[in-house]
Structure 1
Amino acid sequence: MGDRLEPEVPADVVGRRLSCGGERATVRYVGPVPPTTGVWLGVEWDDPQRGKHDGSHEGVHYFSCRHPKGGSFIRPAKAIYGVDYLTALQQVYHYCIKKADTDISFYTKERSFESLTSVLLGGLEVNGPGPDGAIRRTTPYVQLLDLSGSLLSCWEDVSVFSLQMEQLEELNLSCNRLSLPSRPSTLSHAFYNLKVLHLNKCELTWPQILDCASMWPQLESLCLTENHITALQRPDQVLHSLKSLNLALNPLVEDTLACLSALPRLEDLNVSHTGLSVIRFDDAAPGCQTAMFPELKTLVMDNNNISEWCVIDELAKLPSLSELSCRRNRLQSSDGNPRTAEQMVMAKLGRLIILNRCQLLPEERRGAELDYIKMFGEEWLKSKSCSQSKAQFNCEHPRYQSLINKYGAPEEGELKRPEPFALKNQLLKITFVFPDDDRKPIEKKLPASMVVQKVKGLLYRLLKVPAADLRLTYSSPKKVATEIELDGDLRTLEFYSIEDGDLVLVRWS
């Protein structure tokens, strides 16, 4: 068939990557498709919605697709196979420097690229490393290489880049479809210095990651968002140097999360948007430390289905956890106030330094812990009369007794359950004034739980000034001639102790 191929079709086209109409695809078939005449390319699209079928036509199966509608036949003339690395490098960096109105004559010579430590070719149609030794001659000192959304087709080609960039530490291969090597370990020498790897949106499964992991013996950071990662298996003998792992936007099977505890140096884990609702460390009793995840310091689990407070109690078992983000979950306090729920997280996790991207101040922690004691003081007092009730209370509030030891038992008058949160009782009358502008003051009633970011959004609608340009301070009759800056966009008005009748001063650049 090779002799009969049309001139524009490469002899090794099957398996190659191409673009057509701005969409990426992989060639799965080349040849005739009766009853039509001429040569066709059977392609599997990266975006299956671009396709029409599973590789079949009129009952004949020509190739296979992972998605039943992910395939199409296109004429070879419509296929774009991209350019090699050196061509893309010259085109892009020449263009960027020309736009900046600087002297470009120096950059049209090959030797000019030698000083580059970062090469960003993301979204371009790079199809390979080019002539032998070209990378080493032109960009030998590159430490960061972005080849996301390229037309590379296999890891063997990627290894050629890395072999010639001996200082390469960070590599972005997101939005690629790379065929897996038959013996990944044989490529480990090519990626020996690699520390950071991005493989977002590559349609990879966890077993495939583990199979490839022997290629990256020194890897410290791995980003795998929006892949096909579901059930996790233990990474035995691979990825043991990993410190940061991002699994956001993968449909994880939550019961397998503990498998990642086999990563002895893992410090930073992101499992946002994964459907997570349960976390358990069954090796430790409530209030004790787990042997799992001994180095985990930062955990991000935003936008999940966590609704049970026992999950937070399980996180308290982690010996090194100091930063947690759990925004947009279903955790609720009995009064329905989001601020109270946040205080409960602070009280339950005594080692936290940062919660939901905001640093916890000592006085903020103290207030949260004292409120927690008062909130559950009545239950604690009742549980003392029955050993079974006491055991159940300690299971639900494993840190409560240590807080009693720290602050003392609550006074009798404080052992009352807080009143249900009522928005009307939490509204603050605030007057916005504009010291650098002639606008008249604006008076508004806002909930104490409103965050500064929302306040800026309100002001944007009123003033038509971008929220990013706004700087807010407030003054109180109790603190004459003192302005306190509202410098945390995710902090609430209540956090800053803003009271009914206070002034908020609005300035902008």
Structure 2
Amino acid sequence: MRIFVYRVLFVFFQRKNGFVKVIFAASANNAFDRIEPSENYETLEELFMYENGISKFSNLDSLKKFQRLKYLSISQCRLKNIEIGDDFPHIETLVADGNEFSKWEDIQDLTLLPDLKKLTLRCLIPGECGVDNREIVISKLENLVELDHCDISPIERKNAERQFLIRIGFMRPIAEVHHKDVERLSVKHDFCFGENGSAEESSDFITIRFQYGDKWFEKAFPQSMELMRAATLVCRIVGGNPRGITYYIRSNNGIDDPQEITVQPYTLLSSLTFGPDNLLIMVD
């Protein structure tokens, strides 16, 4: 195997199910900028290239020779985007955190990895339209079951995809990078959009306005969700420890002057009685 910039290289051979499993590991800080194997390692399954100077994803084009490749680590390799070409291996686990992705177009090609199940990205790309970046990644990658070492439950996936549709599907025009995702999810969830472009939101969702100090956040949640779960998602954006917060809803209960009523964090959202502004106040 030949490497353009060579310092330390480890190749491990493991016998598994009657054939030899090859694990290639380029040790960290080697400044490798690409790999160009001179031998045919058809059984290569795991490749570790973290903390190297790959910089351009095109420098990994030779990976198409490794059709058994299932695990790829390219974290902290100064990559600015991901480009999946023809015949790219069917990666199941990708570790790509610590790179220089700055916009959703930079990672859109991850949708071309149909077998991708586990992804470590620690995405720093800003969310859009009140949808956080974890929800966007989940919505785009329909077969993902683990993101940043946290399992994706069926409920989390459903909520993320519905939020993606309700919020990002409302944009006119829909950003090109999200267009195919909106189309696919609209069919999956039987969503349609009105003439003004707004999604017809199901009655099993409720939009809540959160106030935490001088910060405000508004988001739609399934009414079957517990308040603690919703607050945990909101605290990722506005800060605070959801388990150390007291929750109040502002309800007028049929009278003119609103009252702030303490609510238990594990109450279902469907059980809360909000005032006309659907305001929930969080206080440390």
With the length of structure 2 as denominator, give the TM-score of the two structures. 0.63
Amino acid at match of 1:476: P
Secondary structure (helix, strand or coil) at the match of 2:36 reads coil
Amino acid at match of 2:216: N
Q: 2:187 and 2:24 mapped to 1: Cα distance? A: 42
1:368, CA displacement in angstroms?
0.8
Structure 1 residues 408 and 262, CA, compared in 2 at 3 Å: closer, same or farther?
Answer: same
1:311 and 2:106 are equivalent in the alignment: yes
Q: 1:318 and 1:361 mapped to 2: Cα distance? A: 20
1:220 and 2:15 are equivalent in the alignment: no
Q: 1:324 and 1:281 mapped to 2: Cα distance? A: 15
Secondary structure (helix, strand or coil) at the match of 1:293 reads coil
CA contact (8 A) 1:220 1:241 kept: yes
Larger radius of gyration: 1
CA contact (8 A) 1:308 1:331 kept: yes
Q: 1:144-202 CA deviation, whole Å, 9 max, x = no partner?
A: xxxxxxxxxxxxxxxxxxxxxxxxxxxxxxxxxxxxxxxx9xxxxxxxxxxxxxxxxxx
CA contact (8 A) 2:48 2:74 kept: yes
CA contact (8 A) 1:213 1:238 kept: no
Amino acid at match of 1:332: P
Q: 1:447 and 1:364 mapped to 2: Cα distance? A: 11
Q: 2:80 and 2:145 mapped to 1: Cα distance? A: 23
Aligned partner of 2:143 in structure 1 is: 351
Structure 1 residues 396 and 258, CA, compared in 2 at 3 Å: closer, same or farther?
Answer: farther
5 Å-filtered alignment, 1:420-435, equals: 424-426=215-217
CA contact (8 A) 2:165 2:185 kept: yes
Q: 1:422 and 1:232 mapped to 2: Cα distance? A: 49
CA contact (8 A) 2:211 2:282 kept: no
1:375 and 2:161 are equivalent in the alignment: no
1:276, CA displacement in angstroms?
1.2
Q: 1:278 and 1:243 mapped to 2: Cα distance? A: 23
Structure 1 residues 370 and 280, CA, compared in 2 at 3 Å: closer, same or farther?
Answer: same
**Contiguous gaps of at least 5 residues in structure 1:** 1-183, 185-203, 284-290, 384-391, 428-444, 459-474, 480-498, 504-509
Structure 1 residues 370 and 410, CA, compared in 2 at 3 Å: closer, same or farther?
Answer: farther
Structure 1 residues 398 and 341, CA, compared in 2 at 3 Å: closer, same or farther?
Answer: same
CA contact (8 A) 1:223 1:247 kept: yes
Aligned partner of 1:293 in structure 2 is: 89
Match of 2:48 among 246, 249, 260: 246
Secondary structure (helix, strand or coil) at the match of 1:376 reads helix
Match of 2:39 among 212, 233, 237: 237
Secondary structure (helix, strand or coil) at the match of 1:342 reads helix
Secondary structure (helix, strand or coil) at the match of 2:62 reads helix
CA contact (8 A) 2:92 2:117 kept: yes
Higher relative contact order (CA 8 A, sep 6+): 2
Secondary structure (helix, strand or coil) at the match of 1:448 reads helix
1:213, CA displacement in angstroms?
6.3
Amino acid at match of 1:350: E
Q: 2:68 and 2:7 mapped to 1: Cα distance? A: 18
Identical positions, percent = 20
1:426, CA displacement in angstroms?
4.5
Q: 1:401 and 1:236 mapped to 2: Cα distance? A: 43
Amino acid at match of 1:408: D
CA contact (8 A) 1:273 1:303 kept: yes
1:265, CA displacement in angstroms?
1.1
Amino acid at match of 1:293: P
Q: 1:350 and 1:447 mapped to 2: Cα distance? A: 20
CA contact (8 A) 1:248 1:273 kept: yes
CA contact (8 A) 2:74 2:96 kept: yes
Amino acid at match of 1:221: I
Match of 1:270 among 60, 64, 73: 73
Match of 1:478 among 258, 261, 267: 267
Secondary structure (helix, strand or coil) at the match of 1:220 reads strand
Q: 1:206 and 1:215 mapped to 2: Cα distance? A: 22
Number of matched residues?
225
Aligned partner of 1:332 in structure 2 is: 126
Structure 1 residues 262 and 209, CA, compared in 2 at 3 Å: closer, same or farther?
Answer: farther
1:214, CA displacement in angstroms?
11
Aligned partner of 2:183 in structure 1 is: 401
Amino acid at match of 2:34: L
5 Å-filtered alignment, 1:148-227, equals: 206=4, 208=6, 218-227=20-29
With the length of structure 1 as denominator, give the TM-score of the two structures. 0.37
CA contact (8 A) 1:234 1:262 kept: no
Structure 1 residues 299 and 410, CA, compared in 2 at 3 Å: closer, same or farther?
Answer: same
Q: 1:278 and 1:422 mapped to 2: Cα distance? A: 36
- Larger % of strand: which? 2
What is the alpha-carbon root mean square deviation over aligned residues?
Answer: 4.3
Q: 2:9 and 2:236 mapped to 1: Cα distance? A: 48
